[in-house]
Amino acid sequence: MKKYISSLFASLFLLSSLHAAQEQTLAIIKPDAVAADHIGQIIARLEKNGLHVIALKMAHITKPQAEEFYAIHKERPFYKDLVTFMSSAPVVLIALEGENSVAKNREVIGATNPKEAAQGTIRADFARSLSENAIHGSDSVDNAKNEVAFFFSANELFPKK
């Protein structure tokens, strides 16, 4: 009986661990990549790597939205240019879901500086420069939750069942 109970608890723990690994994250295809018609290729790359699109919309982020979204960078020297760039033209907002999706998304995206991005990553293939680097990706699970909620209401998300 003890062995059965131990096995049951181990199974429940494993199932809860697997379920906990399912995360949501945000990707934003930036104005440079939208203008260059890379939307489909970027989404295909995300999906090919096990990330599931659960919400998607094209939008023109306003300057106040960009200021609020990137407020964490307010004291950084690039903040004003980032806000101006992100509010300059349409972007594609994507809520993604998958196992360890935050880390997976960052891996597929590549290093912030495209010159340092690994071959085959989105930034290595589609970024123009450090400031026009094709895509934004949430950098932590906590930030991902906030970022997804910033752009999508709960009724706009369609998680995998």
Domain assignment present for 35: yes
Can 136 be counted among the known catalytic residues? yes
7-52 residue pLDDT tens: 544 444 444 444 556 999 999 999 999 999 999 999 999 999 999 9
85-123 residue pLDDT tens: 999 999 999 999 999 999 999 999 999 999 999 999 999
Query: If you write DSSP's letter for every residue of 82-141 in order, what string do you get?
Result: HHHHHTSS-EEEEEEEEETHHHHHHHHH--SSTTTSPTTSHHHHH--SSSS-SEEE--SH
Annotated catalytic residue within 19, 52, 60, 136: 136
Residue 140: which CATH number? 3.30.70.141
Domain assignment present for 158: no
Domain assignment present for 159: no
Query: In 1-108, where do the E strands start and end?
Result: 22-29, 52-59, 91-99
Query: 26 lies in which domain range?
Result: 19-151
> For residue 152, is it left (φ>0), alpha (ψ between -120 and 50) or beta?
beta
Rounded to 5°, angle at Cα 63 from 61 and 66? 65
pTM reported for the whole predicted model: 0.87
Contact 144, 23 (CB under 8 A): yes
Total number of domains in the chain: 1
End-to-end CA distance of the chain: 34
Look at residues 84, 78, 81 and name the one whose alpha carbon lies nearest to residue 64: 84
Domain assignment present for 2: no
